[in-house]
Structure 1
Amino acid sequence: MAEAIFWGAAALVVYVYAGYPCLIFLLARLRPRPVRKAPVLPTVSFIIAAYNEERVIAAKLENTFALDYPPERLEVMVVSDGSTDATEEIVRTRSAGRVKLLALPRQGKTLAQNQAVAVARGEIVVFSDATTVYQPASLRALVANFADPEVGCVTGTTIYGTERAAAVGEGRAAYWNYERFVRSQESRFCSVLGASGCVYALRRRLYTPLTADVISDVAQAIAAVAQGYRAVVEDEAVVHEPAESYTIREEVERRARVIARGLRLKFRLRGFFLRHPWFLLQVLSHRVLRWAVPFFLVLAFAANLFLLDRPEYLLLFLAQVALYGAAVLAYVLERRNVRLPGLVIPLYFCIVNLAPLLAVRALLRGEKQVTWETGRPGAG
């Protein structure tokens, strides 16, 4: 029994991290759905969500004005979610009448975006964070996908900075390199399961007003698919996000909040997933089973304890101990501002797999968080 549990749990972990990426890669080759792009220029509402972003908002506006897109077809909007610093004043003084400012009470990013879209005029709405640096051609690359009438949502490619980053930042950058590959294959095969909140575009008529506890970038992509459209990745729409100063604890808590909200959304949309088998495969493999990995890891570790009398299982047990030991060592060293590059991956692997446990605990307790904080000093 212990042997069956061990190999069953281990097989699920391997499937999540290696088997599914290989499967979706093959499906994308066997059943590709290329997007019919063209250099179209629809009217665009570029919505920047901001909460206490006085350190970066001026640079963000300059970056937005520098986009290679006709100014007469680009509406720039800043939606301030109850900022208490100089964010709103900077927008008023630096925008030269080119920016529509929505100064709202603190209510959370999702509700703030709801109100912004309600007054937006563009055929396409593009969502960005205040810290996100767009390459000049990124906006054109995004909207070129809307020449295909089957496309409803497009997300770009985010490059996370690692310079002067804590181990958390380096780990997240490595994780997203892996995640980008998976999302790219899903896009070629069918649709992605969610967008990157700092760079995605949507046909405005497809926008679905959401409740405060829902992650808008994930929900809007799925909502577009539910309305009969595709959600795709545009590899040429490259943006850059600076390394943020999250501590290990803050990163675990951040991921736990995202997962908890994601689980609520998946449960609410279970009927839709059951009606779309291919999308269900993606949701189960890329989301649900991945969030269940920590439970599989615990099962494998516990079952392994009953098999230590056999040399091969002793080696497997020691390998697990080495993995978790490396993560603990990385954690201890990070607290002392010492970093060994080889320990970043074990550390972030454990961060990724601790977060679902906290997410499940939060769901069982009925906890919800609708507002957001940034990882930058002075922001929030």
Structure 2
Amino acid sequence: MTEPMFWMSVAGVVLAYAGYPAYLVLRRSLDPWPVVPRAWTPPVDVLLVVHNAGDALEAKVANLQRLDYPAQRLTVHVVCDGCTDATAAVARRLASGRVRATVFAERRGKSACIGDLLPTLTGDVVLFVDVRQTLAPHALRALTAALADPSVGAASGELVIRDPTGFAAGVDAYWRYEKAIRRLESATGSMVGATGALYAARRQLIGPVPPGLILDDMWIPLSVADAGYRIVAVDDAIAVDHAPPDPAAEERRKRRTLSGNYQLLHRLPRLALPGAHPLSLRLWGHKWSRLLVPWLLATALASSALLAAAGSRLYLTLFLLQAGAYALAILGRRSAWLAGRFPPARVAAAFLSLNASAALALGDYLRNPRAHLWQTTRYQESGR
């Protein structure tokens, strides 16, 4: 059984990272489903939940107020989630007719704040943003134009990483791969989530948002899809972010995100059952299969080692190739110089980091049910 285990493991990894995109490319060529945008400027409520981001809040509100959108149709809701710095004071100072501050003394997490605020909103569209990123002036108009298509219920913007170098360049390469998949999903029907830094949804399609969620930017779009509407990508709606300051910071963020996938499966098992949710098969192609990849990689390494020890030159070669790839990834992870000058090293480092994070995320979720209480992340001069 050792030899079949090796090849099945390799096949599983290839299917997870290449098979699903290949299927989407074929689907796009045979049965495309383009978005038909048109100019639409409905009343929009912007929902910005912050925790200890007083140093970034004023700049973010100013960025939102500079959006190319009718001011009288845009209301910004700043929600303070148990802040212990000056964030609440800044929010109250910024409050005006079109900027409203809500301060919760107890820290409960982002989804609890969203769930409390949603019933109070009146706009046709809700725009969800984070405090760290800077939005392009036309971003909101691009999102509402996509939402004017009657088949579309949620529209996601595009996150652009500014000046990635070293390990961050490898992360950026993976992010570009991820965005390509999202565009393919959008062009053939629906994505399975949205970019948390910038997405919009029709308010009346958003289902209840419970407290304690890690990935509200998947829960909310999936509720829209459950109502029979599409989640689409809008390339012209851009949010700009800084590159992660170091590998450890990016890995902490990624582990938290991946633990959110386990939480979704725990809370909504039907997301893994074909036909039980409109996007369950796409979730397997895009999300759930990747949770299996770390274990498939470990199985491939162990089985090839056993076969090599039994005297197989072929599997000795395959084992050494894997070991070399892991060594290159570790060197790329630890050496900014190598990652900056040798693209295979930084891509390998990002791939290893992603899958190590996926393996550790399950334990993170089981050990820490309060992972939804995010920590403020500082990327250069910005914060969340």
TM-score (norm: length of structure 2)? 0.91
Q: How far, CA to CA, are the matches of 1:307 and 1:61 in structure 2?
A: 60
Q: How far, CA to CA, are the matches of 1:48 and 1:280 in structure 2?
A: 29
Structure 1 residues 254, 341: closer, same or farther in 2, change over 3 A? same
Q: How far, CA to CA, are the matches of 2:315 and 2:154 in structure 1?
A: 47
Partner SS for 2:181: helix
Partner SS for 1:231: strand
Partner SS for 2:55: coil
Q: Deviations over 1:156-195 (max 9, x none)?
A: 11112235x662x333222110000001111111211111
Report if aligned partners of 2:155, 2:231 keep a CA contact under 8 Å in 1.
yes
Q: How far, CA to CA, are the matches of 1:312 and 1:162 in structure 2?
A: 42
1:10 and 2:43 matched: no
Partner SS for 1:76: strand
Q: What is aligned with 1:333?
A: 335
Partner SS for 1:181: helix
Q: What is aligned with 1:87?
A: 87
Aligned residues between the structures: 376
Q: How far, CA to CA, are the matches of 1:251 and 1:266 in structure 2?
A: 23
For structure 2, the residue ranges without an aligned partner over 5 or more in a row are none
Q: CA deviation at 1:60?
A: 1.1
- Stretch moving more, 74-83 or 276-285: 276-285
1:275 and 2:271 matched: no
Partner amino acid for 2:265? K
Report if aligned partners of 2:60, 2:132 keep a CA contact under 8 Å in 1.
yes
Structure 1 residues 338, 8: closer, same or farther in 2, change over 3 A? closer
Partner amino acid for 2:163? T
Q: Deviations over 1:124-158 (max 9, x none)?
A: 00000111111111100001122122211111111
Q: CA deviation at 1:277?
A: 8.0
1:361-380 aligned at under 5 Å gives the runs 361-365=363-367, 367-376=369-378
Report if aligned partners of 2:37, 2:147 keep a CA contact under 8 Å in 1.
yes
2:321 to 319, 322, 336: 319
- Stretch moving more, 301-310 or 198-207: 301-310
Report if aligned partners of 1:162, 1:173 keep a CA contact under 8 Å in 2.
no
1:171-190 aligned at under 5 Å gives the runs 171-190=170-189
Partner amino acid for 1:54? G
Q: CA deviation at 1:332?
A: 3.1
Q: How far, CA to CA, are the matches of 1:253 and 1:61 in structure 2?
A: 27
Structure 1 residues 367, 93: closer, same or farther in 2, change over 3 A? closer
Partner amino acid for 1:211? P
1:265 and 2:264 matched: yes
Q: How far, CA to CA, are the matches of 1:366 and 1:56 in structure 2?
A: 28
Structure 1 residues 237, 230: closer, same or farther in 2, change over 3 A? same
Q: How far, CA to CA, are the matches of 1:54 and 1:142 in structure 2?
A: 28
Q: What is aligned with 1:197?
A: 196
Structure 1 residues 276, 184: closer, same or farther in 2, change over 3 A? farther
Q: CA deviation at 1:276?
A: 5.5
Q: What is aligned with 2:221?
A: 221
Q: How far, CA to CA, are the matches of 1:99 and 1:278 in structure 2?
A: 37
Q: Deviations over 1:15-56 (max 9, x none)?
A: 111121111111122122222221011110011221121222
Partner SS for 2:279: helix
Q: What is aligned with 1:52?
A: 52
Note the aligned Cα RMSD (angstroms): 2.3
Partner amino acid for 2:39? P
Partner amino acid for 2:52? N
1:287 and 2:284 matched: no
Q: What is aligned with 2:42?
A: 42
Q: How far, CA to CA, are the matches of 2:35 and 2:89 in structure 1?
A: 42
Q: CA deviation at 1:364?
A: 4.4
- Stretch moving more, 95-104 or 6-15: 95-104
Q: How far, CA to CA, are the matches of 1:50 and 1:90 in structure 2?
A: 11
- Stretch moving more, 273-282 or 184-193: 273-282
Report if aligned partners of 1:170, 1:344 keep a CA contact under 8 Å in 2.
yes
Q: CA deviation at 1:306?
A: 2.3
Partner SS for 1:56: helix
Partner amino acid for 1:157? E
1:160 and 2:158 matched: no
For structure 1, the residue ranges without an aligned partner over 5 or more in a row are none
Q: Deviations over 1:209-253 (max 9, x none)?
A: 3233321110011111111111111111111112233x4344333
Q: CA deviation at 1:288?
A: 1.0
Q: How far, CA to CA, are the matches of 1:24 and 1:3 in structure 2?
A: 30
Q: How far, CA to CA, are the matches of 1:277 and 1:212 in structure 2?
A: 22
Q: How far, CA to CA, are the matches of 2:340 and 2:377 in structure 1?
A: 20
Q: What is aligned with 2:29?
A: 29
TM-score (norm: length of structure 1)? 0.91
Q: How far, CA to CA, are the matches of 1:367 and 1:62 in structure 2?
A: 35
